[in-house]
Amino acid sequence: MATVSANKSIIFDLDGTIWNSIIYRIKAWQLAFKDYGIDTDPEVIRLMIGYPGSMLIKKMNARDPAIEKREEMYFEKMLPDVKFYPDVEGTFSQLRNMGFKIAIVTSSRRDMIEKINVHAEAIVTMDDVEKGKPDPEPYKKAIKIMDGTPERTIVVGDIDNDLVPAKLLGCVAVLVSHGTQKRAEHKDYEISEIGDIIKIIETLKWR
């Protein structure tokens, strides 16, 4: 009897990877911290986007976890201006035609994700796990939902924090730069735009 191959799976980060939200996230965090009398450096915030909000709060020497809720309030007001990158919808369609199941793994909260129009076979948020990225737990959960295996899973993210758990699990790690200069020690490949992932997949020759 022939062995059935595991599903082909691909996991995308959200903020800064498929969603052009970084500048809005930075502004929302600045406003939230300002409400608590804390001045912030936007570059420090930018480097922490993609990590759990609790880690950013700690880095700013703040203690009140309610700051994260404040950031979400400000960010929600900006949602009409936040867009998916232009090639995301077409690329997702191509990936499904190639037999891939798609997951979104994000450090955002579940109630925020429910406010945006994103379609995936699996969506894993901070509220769905005990430990967020760079812990592998969110990726393990997404792969399980998709009935996949790490060896047949690609992870696409815009910072090294997205790729660390991918390499720990044995997934293919892909950095997307969107035309900016980025450093990532754990990448297997780098692409400029989301649509370029198709070329990477063709070199893998997965069936």
Residues 6+ apart with CB under 8 A from 34: 40
Give the bridge partners for 8, in sequence order: 100
Among 13, 158, 160, 162, the active-site one is 13
Mean pLDDT of the chain: 93
**What is the arithmetic mean of pLDDT over 91-120?**
94
Q: Is the confidence at residue 2, as pLDDT, over 80?
A: no
- Pick from 91-95, 145-149, 177-181: least confident: 177-181
Q: What is the 3 state secondary structure string of the chain?
A: CCCCCCEEEEEECCECCCECCHHHHHHHHHHHHHHCCCCCCHHHHHHHECECHHHHHHHCCCCCCHHHHHHHHHHHHHHHHCCECCCHHHHHHHHHHCCEEEEEECCCCHHHHCCCCCCCCEEECHHHCCCCCCCCHHHHHHHHHCCEEEEEEEEEECCHHHHHHHHHHCCEEEEECCCCCCCCCCCCEEECCHHHHHHHHHHHCCC
**What is the arithmetic mean of pLDDT over 169-180?**
96
Is 13 among the residues known to form the active site? yes
Counting Cα atoms < 13 Å in the Cβ hemisphere of 87 gives 13
Q: 80: which 2 tokens? A: 């009409």
35-90: pLDDT as tens digits: 999 999 999 999 899 888 989 999 999 989 999 999 999 999 999 999 999 999 99
Is the pLDDT higher at 119 or at 17? 17
Q: Is the confidence at residue 147, as pLDDT, over 60?
A: yes
